[in-house]
Structure 1
């Protein structure tokens, strides 16, 4: 059984087993007989009635959930299990194709006026964006970028992005090394060890949510995130399963498709980290398209 099948089984309520039904029926019959024992000498019909009641109860037990004490233990699904199931699904998903890599981030309510950020990037470096900086209008960037795709503080070509390691430890090591050699700075100065650790984790988030990585690389990033302690499952939410990640980031992951449909943090095509103020995060779509808005 793979990760996705395991998760599906855990999320599907189990019917009570026949053994549970038999034991519940037997216990109920004993309880009924025990409750009527003092009446046996005076009112024999109550004994017969008790037998009838027990038979009727046995039918009811067969169609009703077992008593809590005998019910199978509730299967809880951890955040790590959801991420691993998403990795399996991502690995099997089609890669997609198109002229532009399109990323759209909107408020959780999905209102038309709530677009926070939208971008279109061609592999040759031509880029368009829409957001607060452009007054809500689609605007083409004036200059081409040789490395139009960005992790946090790491700019990449599409070929470099597609060639990232497909082993979780190797991928994390690659990102850590690239950040070590990066000239990125914060407002306080050079990146500290803590800054680099946070940037590395957010880079993994961008690989599963906003970048055109291969299915294998996306699956690897999911597994790398799952390897971090403290990932919590918030349960079913619109778009999938809600997760709280280390540092408080939130994702909405559909484990059946391996897609990220919501996030509280995303990386713009300039490599800037944008945090969504709404605790519910924001809706996100990222896909190849042949359409560029006028």
Structure 2
């Protein structure tokens, strides 16, 4: 059984056993008939109709998760299982194709793109953006970057991004080594060990959400995130399953498609980390497209 099948099995409700149905119907019959033997026949016909509807309702209630006495408890799907299912789906998903890598981040309530952040990047580094800084207008970025894709403090070409390891331990080691070599600095100076650890985790978030990584690399990043302790399932939300991550960030992951549809943190095209103030996070869409920015 693969991760997706495991998730479906955990989310599915078990049918009530015949014993549960019989006991529920018997209890209901006793309540309805108790002390009422002098009813006229027409009264019994009405009672019989009510019994049929009520018995059906009793069966439905017995099947609900809120009835632990009559049925087995429903197992809660863990955050790790959701990430592993998403990894399986991502691995099987089509890679997509196009001339531009397009990322769009908007407020959780679907606010206009002018109040969010949006950019288009060609593999050769030519880029356009739209956001608050551009007044909601699509503006070409004059500086042509040879490494237009960013893992927080590490800039990459598309070829380097696509060549990242697909083994979880190897991917973690690659990111850690790249951050160690990076000349990125904070306001307090060179990156500390704690800074690098946080940047490594945010780099993994970028791989599953905003970067044009291969399906295999995205799946690997999902599995590395799943290995971190403290990933929690927040339940169903618009766009998928809400997840609370160990560093306080939140993601909305669709385990059936392997897509991240919401986030509380994202890395901009220049490698800056932006945290969304809204508790609901922000909607996110990332894909290859042939549509030119307007």
TM-score of Structure 1 vs Structure 2, range by shorter chain: 0.7 to 0.9
| Cα deviation 1:29-75 (Å, max 9, x = unaligned) | 9x959x98xx9xxx999xxx9xx99xx69x92773332540212112
> Would the alpha carbon gap of residues 19 and 167 (structure 1) be closer, same or farther in structure 2, given more than 3 Å must change?
farther
Q: Which runs of 5+ in 1 are unaligned?
A: none
CA deviation after TM superposition for structure 1 residue 176, in Å: 0.4
Aligned-partner SS, 2:286: strand
Aligned-partner SS, 1:105: strand
Give me the whole-angstrom Cα distance separating, in 1, the residues matched to 2:276 and 2:10.
31
Structure number with greater Rg is 1
User: How much is the aligned-residue C-alpha RMSD, in angstroms?
Assistant: 2.5
Contact 1:105 1:115 in 2 (8 A): no
Give me the whole-angstrom Cα distance separating, in 2, the residues matched to 1:19 and 1:181.
65
The equivalences for 1:62-211 within 5 A come to 63-66=59-62, 68-112=68-112, 115-211=115-211
Contact 1:107 1:114 in 2 (8 A): no
Structure 1 residue ranges, 4+ long, deviating more than 4 angstroms after superposition = 22-26
Contact 2:114 2:135 in 1 (8 A): no
Give me the whole-angstrom Cα distance separating, in 1, the residues matched to 2:9 and 2:167.
27
Question: Scaled by the length of structure 2, what TM-score is found?
Answer: 0.87
Aligned counterpart, 2:216 = 216
Question: Scaled by the length of structure 1, what TM-score is found?
Answer: 0.87
Aligned-partner SS, 2:166: coil
CA deviation after TM superposition for structure 1 residue 138, in Å: 1.0
Aligned counterpart, 1:60 = 55
> Would the alpha carbon gap of residues 114 and 6 (structure 1) be closer, same or farther in structure 2, given more than 3 Å must change?
farther
Give me the whole-angstrom Cα distance separating, in 1, the residues matched to 2:30 and 2:131.
70
Q: Which runs of 5+ in 2 are unaligned?
A: 39-43
Aligned-partner SS, 2:285: strand
Contact 2:114 2:132 in 1 (8 A): no
Give me the whole-angstrom Cα distance separating, in 2, the residues matched to 1:18 and 1:166.
48
Contact 1:105 1:117 in 2 (8 A): yes
Give me the whole-angstrom Cα distance separating, in 2, the residues matched to 1:240 and 1:151.
25
Give me the whole-angstrom Cα distance separating, in 1, the residues matched to 2:59 and 2:258.
36
Contact 1:16 1:65 in 2 (8 A): no
